[in-house]
Homo-oligomer: A and B are copies of this chain.
Amino acid sequence: MPRPRRPLLTRDRIVETALALIDADGLGALSTRRLAAALGVQGPSLYNHFATKDEILDAVADTVTGAVDTSGFASRDWLAALRDWAWSYRRALTAHPNIVPYLAQGPGRRPAALAMADAVYGGLVRAGWPPARATHIGAALRYFVAGSALGSFARGFVEDPELYAAHYPHLRQAHRLAEHQQSVDEGAFALGLDALLHGLAAEYTHTVETVESAGSNG
């Protein structure tokens, strides 16, 4: 089959199908040949649209990150905006958990990740945080969200309860975690996020409001 009258592939169709395969079968199960087959095409044809497989994965990761809502930084106070963003970020990642290990390794050349970082940083600076602090806060929350989406505490626990009872006395009920995985993960996320934001709010009164009053007085 030579060049077809209507192109069989588009970047969007490739990315869309890749994400569906990753969601269904995991990151390790995505090969260029399998992806091409799902698109009704031979493997190397993908290279007419992307230079490497990693470029495809970057595009997939970017569409996932693109679903994150940072609009709160334009309309709400910084604390509420951070909370909204963190939850939206978490929802976007847990909707496609299999791509998270790839996605979590830095923003790279992915526009959506950079736009997100830009919005968060800008919102915090506008709220009065010193630039260095704004960078740290954005990074800290990203760590927390990415970590929570990547390494579910419950996932990967073994079935046999005896194994835990014998060696790890406090994990006697660990096998129950699998049943409640989602609620454990969400509970841990909610608790950790609240604690983080509580701590940041305290820091804010010390750092920003003190500086502001000192500045207006001097």
Instruction: Give me the interface of A with B, judged by CB distance under 8 Å.
Output: 101, 104-109, 111, 114-115, 117-119, 121-122, 125, 132-133, 135-148, 150-158, 164, 167-171, 174, 177, 184-185, 187-189, 191-192, 194-200, 202-203
Contacts and interface: CB of A to CB of B under 8 A. Distances in A.
22 contacts: A101-B101, A101-B105, A105-B155, A106-B151, A106-B152, A106-B153, A106-B154, A106-B157, A114-B174, A117-B171, A118-B168, A135-B187, A135-B188, A139-B153, A140-B148, A142-B151, A143-B150, A144-B144, A195-B197, A195-B200, A196-B199, A199-B199
A150 B153 contact: no
Contacts of A174: 114, 117
A187 B132 contact: yes
Contact of A197 (B156, B189, B199): B199
A147 B118 CA distance: 19
A32 to B, nearest CB: 16
B144 A143 contact: yes
A114 B171 contact: yes
Contact of A105 (B132, B133, B151): B151
Nearest to A119: B170
Closest 7 CB pairs of A and B: A195-B199, A140-B192, A147-B147, A106-B156, A143-B147, A139-B188, A198-B199
Nearest to A120: B170
B150 A142 contact: no
B147 A142 contact: yes
A161 to B, nearest CB: 13
